[in-house]
Amino acid sequence: MPEYKAPLRDIKFVTEEVLDINNHYANLAGAEEATPDMVAAILEEGAKFAERVLSPLNRIGDEQGCTFKDGEVTTPEGFKEAYQQYVEGGWPSLSHEESVGGQGLPESLGMMVTEMIATSNWSWSMYPGLSHGAMNTLEQHGTDEQKQTYLTKLVTGEWTGTMCLTEPHCGTDLGMLKTKAEPNSDGSYAISGTKIFISAGEHDMADNIVHIVLARLPDAPAGTKGISLFIVPKFNVNETGDVADRNAVSCGSIEHKMGIHGNATCVMNFDGAKGFLIGPPNRGLNCMFTFMNTARLGTALQGLAHAEWAYQNSVVYAKDRLQMRALSGAKSPDKAADPIIVHPDVRRMLLTQRAFAEGGRALIHYSSLLVDKTTKGSDEEKAEAEELLSLLTPIAKAFLTETGFESANQGLQVFGGHGFIAEWGMEQNVRDSRISMLYEGTTGIQALDLLGRKVLMTQGATLRRFTKIIHKFCKEHKGDKRFKGYINALSKLNSEWGDVTLKIGMKAMKNKEEVGAASFDYCMYSGYVVLAYFWARMAVTAQVKLDEGSSEQGFYTAKLQTATFYYERILPRTRGHVETMLSGADNLLAMEEDNFLFLG
């Protein structure tokens, strides 16, 4: 019953009209082929694939889930065939280097396609999603030979990849990692240990699986500085580059979990499996950061995905479901009752989803233009883009997944009791979205990364890089009466952001625990400010279009109305966050551990 339609008009609005992507591509090295026509054609094909192939498999994926038998995982009906179509369509190679068989198109164009694929069927999208992470890691840190052997097969999609980090006793705290890598005489390593929560660790969709694995060399220093990165293929690869005998890595079981049933979450056992070092010894975590940033942005996208999906489906229901009359009198007197979209509280729930989905879309694609610059920009552009991304990634990951889950729940709530029933699909969307606040670093970890590492450790320099951009935008539009409401509010928030940072920084000098005590509220606050910036930009673009006499009056008017909703009904949440983040660590730390529970 639920379905996905690719929001092509909105993607165009954000990327072309607001972010001026055509100009961006025109000035980006190696992006010559990303002409407006080419972009449009790719998006249209991607939309078809998402709508026609993946969206119909979303419910099936949840209902059937993955099955595990004798070390093998069977994916839900249709998943394998969809993957074949994906490979035949050349999608895996879209934004990878031509030297390894890629199409060399910008990462940001890949992100637009990924948005559609991810929203139509998140569980399915994780298989190519993990591959993409593995590919980026190999692209940056692999030797030519490793690229030739593994990357070329990942780029065609014949093989898929995974990232093996977590172990039973450590997720966040990778310094505790135990998996061992002992040198073999032939220059390879014997990898032994157990990894858990390995998404797409085993499945039936591709001929081989390339695991990127964190492990310790025998003489490695303790903690995070003694971790190295390895390639461990499911099947060893022979000299002609073909799949040979089975390597000593196997799936021990798959998890029974709340959602994303269509994706296999595997326990992976490495029993002296043959592996190959990527990058320098003991620098695995640094190499992994490449992947982690991409992965975190990819998970941020999950927030947008579930918000968009919830919004589309709950609007359709709200227009259709008849229940009660509007308080100011019947709006559809010819019907037995009014459609529930007339009720202000239903609209509140719909517009909350819309504000987060469309605001999130702007943040995601803005960030992915920065990603383009980190690989293809000038040195100066690269440095700026990296700094901005280091700030925006934890915000996007934490804030968009928290608001994505909220939106998924609002979408369910619009359906009333029916929202709780599986066949309507809204509860699956909630369950699937719940993981996004946990993996790739929980919300708490993102918040600590943002406030501790990104903001305070740079003495606010990284933050100022972004607040200057907001400041410049506000200055440009300050005199314009049409934007007064947005610009005044945004301006104030922007200075307040600096002020609260300074206050927390001062406190933290006396007591480091103040960072952890303020971080969550600081991160959410930052997210609201960032989205306020994008909503102001979207409002300016829309207003200009309207004033130019655009024929799409409804489209642009709705943008302005959503911006107003965001400023008047969402931004007030910042008030609570400011008060809370400045309330100090004592109210959290005072309680003795023994006094948390008194249960006889």
Only one of the segments 141-149, 283-291, 295-303, 422-430 lies at the binding site for its own copies (rule: CB under 8 A); that segment is 422-430
- Indicate whether 574 belongs to the interface with its own copies (CB under 8 A): yes
Q: Which of 190, 244, 337, 489 binds its own copies (CB under 8 A)?
A: 337
Q: What is the CA radius of gyration of the chain?
A: 24
Count Cβ neighbours within 10 Å for each residue of 507-545 and write b for 16 or more, e otherwise: bbeeeeebbbbbbbbbbbbbbbbbbbbbbbbbbbbbbeb
- The mark string for 244-283 relative to its own copies (x by CB under 8 A, - otherwise) is -----------xxxxx------------------------
Q: How far is the CB of 516 from its own copies (least distance, A)?
A: 4
- Indicate whether 225 belongs to the interface with its own copies (CB under 8 A): no
**Site size toward its own copies, by CB under 8 A:** 112
Q: Which of 185, 240, 328, 551 binds its own copies (CB under 8 A)?
A: 328
Only one of the segments 136-144, 236-244, 490-498, 586-594 lies at the binding site for its own copies (rule: CB under 8 A); that segment is 586-594
- Indicate whether 576 belongs to the interface with its own copies (CB under 8 A): yes
Q: How far is the CB of 476 from its own copies (least distance, A)?
A: 25
- Indicate whether 67 belongs to the interface with its own copies (CB under 8 A): no
- Indicate whether 509 belongs to the interface with its own copies (CB under 8 A): no
Q: Which of 58, 403, 443, 543 binds its own copies (CB under 8 A)?
A: 443
H or E segment to which residue 418 belongs = none
Q: Which of 56, 226, 505, 516 binds its own copies (CB under 8 A)?
A: 516
Q: Which two tokens stand for residue 293?
A: 């940033």
Residues from 86 through 145 that contact its own copies (CB under 8 A): none
Classify residue 110 as left (phi > 0), alpha (psi -120 to 50) or beta: alpha
Q: Which of 244, 326, 489, 546 binds its own copies (CB under 8 A)?
A: 326
The Cα 385–Cα 388 span in angstroms is 5
Q: Which of 253, 323, 374, 458 binds its own copies (CB under 8 A)?
A: 323
Q: How far is the CB of 70 from its own copies (least distance, A)?
A: 22
Q: How far is the CB of 205 from its own copies (least distance, A)?
A: 23
Start-to-end C-alpha separation, the chain? 50
DSSP designation for 316? H
Helices (H), 321-378: 344-376
- Indicate whether 224 belongs to the interface with its own copies (CB under 8 A): no
The Cα 76–Cα 66 span in angstroms is 6
- Compute how many other C-beta atoms are within 10 angstroms of the C-beta atom of residue 380: 9
The Cα 306–Cα 328 span in angstroms is 33
Cβ closest to its own copies, residue 1 vs residue 26: 1
Whole-angstrom CA distances from 400 to 140, 310, 428, 526 are 27, 14, 18, 11
Contact assessment for residue 301 and residue 111, using Cβ atoms and an 8 Å cutoff: yes
- Indicate whether 505 belongs to the interface with its own copies (CB under 8 A): no
Only one of the segments 115-123, 393-401, 490-498, 568-576 lies at the binding site for its own copies (rule: CB under 8 A); that segment is 568-576
Q: How far is the CB of 506 from its own copies (least distance, A)?
A: 16
Catalytic residue among 440, 514, 579, 593: 440
Strand partners for 275 = 189
Burial of 379 from C-beta contacts in 10 A (0-12 / 13-18 / 19+): exposed
Q: Which of 10, 158, 384, 496 binds its own copies (CB under 8 A)?
A: 10
The Cα 448–Cα 299 span in angstroms is 17
- For this structure, is 440 an active site residue? yes
Q: Which of 156, 286, 374, 564 binds its own copies (CB under 8 A)?
A: 564
Q: Map residue 261 onto helix, strand or coil.
A: coil
- The mark string for 147-166 relative to its own copies (x by CB under 8 A, - otherwise) is -------------------x
- Compute how many other C-beta atoms are within 10 angstroms of the C-beta atom of residue 190: 17
The Cα 263–Cα 121 span in angstroms is 10
Q: How far is the CB of 8 from its own copies (least distance, A)?
A: 6
Strand partners for 69 = 72
Residues with a known catalytic role: 440
